[in-house]
Amino acid sequence: MFANITALPTLDTLSLPDLALQELNIHLRGQLIRRGDADYDQARQLWNGAVDKRPALIVRSQTAQDVALAVTFARNHNLPVSVRAGGHNAAGLALVDDGLVIDLSRMKRIQIDPARRVARAEPGLTIGEFTRALEPYGLLTPTGTCSGTGIGGMTLGGGIGWLTGRFGLAVDNVLSFEVVTAEGRLLKASAEENADLFWGLRGGGGNFGVVTAIEYQLHPMGQVLGGTILYPLSLDVLRAYFDFTSAAPDEVIAYAALATIPNAGPAVAITVCYSGDDLAAGEQALAPLRQFGSPIVDMIRPMNYTELITSLDPTAPDGRHYADTAYSLKQPGDDALKAMLACAEQKSSPFSVIVIHHINGAGTRVAPDATAFALREPHYSIVNAAAWEEGPAEPHLAWAQESLARMQPFASQGLYVNFMGQEGEAAIREAYRANYERLVALKRKYDPTNFFRMNQNIKPGGK
Ligand SMILES: Cc1cc2nc3c(=O)[nH]c(=O)nc-3n(C[C@H](O)[C@H](O)[C@H](O)COP(=O)(O)OP(=O)(O)OC[C@H]3O[C@@H](n4cnc5c(N)ncnc54)[C@H](O)[C@@H]3O)c2cc1C
């Protein structure tokens, strides 16, 4: 007669981890999400819909204290840890199978001091949320180029984008970080406090702790002259793009996407930002870009920065399946451009795209050892972004890999860590060049057990 009554668990039927979990839950301001919880599947979704990892726990933190609790819990229970901010790392490093995810996506507070031109921002803000908050003050700071990316991962890896030529990388504009270390301690890292850690966090990714707030130097900024101009895909247009960008002033950054455009076919979509104060001078600076041939469409006009970064969102929507390979290139000759053109012509999906990121100006005049980010020469960072919505992954993975192999003879040494996937240790060492040994020493000091390893990992042993 009692068959339908489910026995309530008593204290002695609970396992120790359950008790510990209850205790963690009590102390958290944020949310503890376990497998089977209603929010679990939504909480493990990333920008890349091809990633299907199943963490044991997700701690949706609200405060630095929550982060410290999660770090301590994971240490005490030997759980592997990952850190998630905007969830845009294409390889899915934000999640860890069977481990604990420190999810910062709800930490979105921002304080702006217009007089000092400083913003303190939490890492769960997306770039779009961040710039939308700054724009009413007529202030901005360098960010990546798409609105959905998190400021957390973007900044810690370096942060290249529309303002790199004028104001440097995102890391060149960071004044301080607040960071929870592998011991669960909250530290400040700035030029004055823990200066070694401050150096390492400016490009060293998530290797040294969980960053819970970032203070940025802001710059006065009105409208930019920006937008996309489309040309039919051709060698001449590619050549003209590289000639234009290699001679561009600091105020001009132009990215090119070798893409398939609905109703237009294979195209080079050049998105540009002129960030100088004088938009009439900007029109002149961008004039050559309008003379590469007959554009399919020209959408370049004065606009707000946030409008520019959101204009690219539809090209890489959340939840589509992605697989990236990437490489760096100095000024390419015709052989390299012909090879790149062939890669574009052989795409396995109309959603796939080759994105050429242009790095110049102020971002390349910072000494390579001034911050952990070492790739300080003018160059291009190129991503073969395979994208598809259904069917098997194999043809798309093959295209991304084959495109990389085809371009490898022309590639220059050292790839931006934020565009890396599973390249491994040799590539990480190359990315940091002469800074690598200093980063290893820093890792030994701040994370000797390699607790934070779901990243472009710098091992404390150096191997
Ligand atoms: C569509 C698209 C466009 C992009 N465009 C640009 C661009 O223009 N410029 C550019 O520089 N990059 C660009 N990127 C790359 C992007 O900067 C990286 O993928 C970055 O890691 C994403 O940050 P996130 O917070 O969204 O990622 P997440 O996936 O949440 O995090 C990635 C990794 O960063 C680390 N991390 C994140 N936040 C923290 C934190 N607070 N504390 C410690 N570790 C942390 C962790 O190791 C984590 O695994 C782009 C990526 C995509 C998908």
Q: Which pLDDT tens digit goes with each residue over 131-144?
A: 999 999 999 999 99
Question: Structure pTM?
Answer: 0.95
Q: Which H, E and C letters describe 126-177, residue by residue?
A: EHHHHHHHHHHHCEECCCCCCCCCEHHHHHHHCCCCCCHHHHCCCHHHEEEE
Over range 100-115, report the average pLDDT.
98
Cβ(373) to ligand 1 under 6 A?
no
3-state secondary structure of 63: coil
At 318 the pLDDT is 97
Residues 6+ apart with CB under 8 A from 387: 316, 320, 321, 322, 349, 351, 352, 353, 396
* Total domain count, the chain: 3
Q: Which pLDDT tens digit goes with each residue over 281-306?
A: 999 999 999 999 999 999 999 999 99
Question: 93 alpha carbon to ligand 1 midpoint, in Å?
Answer: 9
Task: Report the CATH number at residue 163.
Answer: 3.30.465.10
Question: 32 alpha carbon to ligand 1 midpoint, in Å?
Answer: 23
| Per-residue tokens: 171 | 């890391």
CB 337 within 8 A of CB 253: no
At 279 the pLDDT is 97
Inform me whether the pLDDT recorded for 417 exceeds 60: yes
Cα(25)–Cα(3) distance, integer angstroms:
32
Q: Whose CA is nearest to atom 48 of ligand 1?
A: 94
Cβ(143) to ligand 1 under 6 A?
no
At 115 the pLDDT is 98
Report in angstroms the alpha-carbon separations of 291 from 100, 282, 382.
53, 15, 24
**β-strand partners of 258:** 268, 354
Asked if residue 462 is part of any domain, the answer here is no
Residues 304 and 360 in one domain: yes
Among the atoms of ligand 1, which is closest to the Cα of residue 88?
A: 26
Asked if residue 463 is part of any domain, the answer here is no
CB 164 within 8 A of CB 142: yes
Cβ(124) to ligand 1 under 6 A?
no
Cβ(270) to ligand 1 under 6 A?
no
Cα(191)–Cα(182) distance, integer angstroms:
21
Q: Which pLDDT tens digit goes with each residue over 218-239?
A: 999 999 999 999 999 999 999 9
pLDDT band at residue 6 under the 50/70/90 scheme: very low
Mutate to test the pocket of ligand 1, among 60, 102, 156 (most ligand atoms within 8 A of CB): 156
Question: How does the average pLDDT of the chain come out, rounded?
Answer: 95
At 463 the pLDDT is 61
Q: Whose CA is nearest to atom 6 of ligand 1?
A: 144
Cβ(84) to ligand 1 under 6 A?
yes
Residues 169 and 272 in one domain: no
pLDDT band at residue 389 under the 50/70/90 scheme: very high
Residues 248 and 296 in one domain: yes
Task: Report the CATH number at residue 231.
Answer: 3.40.462.20
Among the atoms of ligand 1, which is closest to the Cα of residue 312?
A: 1
Q: Which pLDDT tens digit goes with each residue over 8-54?
A: 344 444 455 788 999 999 999 999 999 999 999 999 999 999 999 99
Over range 348-370, report the average pLDDT.
97
Q: Whose CA is nearest to atom 53 of ligand 1?
A: 88
At 16 the pLDDT is 57
115 is in which domain, residue-wise? Answer: 110-220+430-446
Cβ(51) to ligand 1 under 6 A?
no
CB 208 within 8 A of CB 451: no
Residues 265 and 370 in one domain: yes
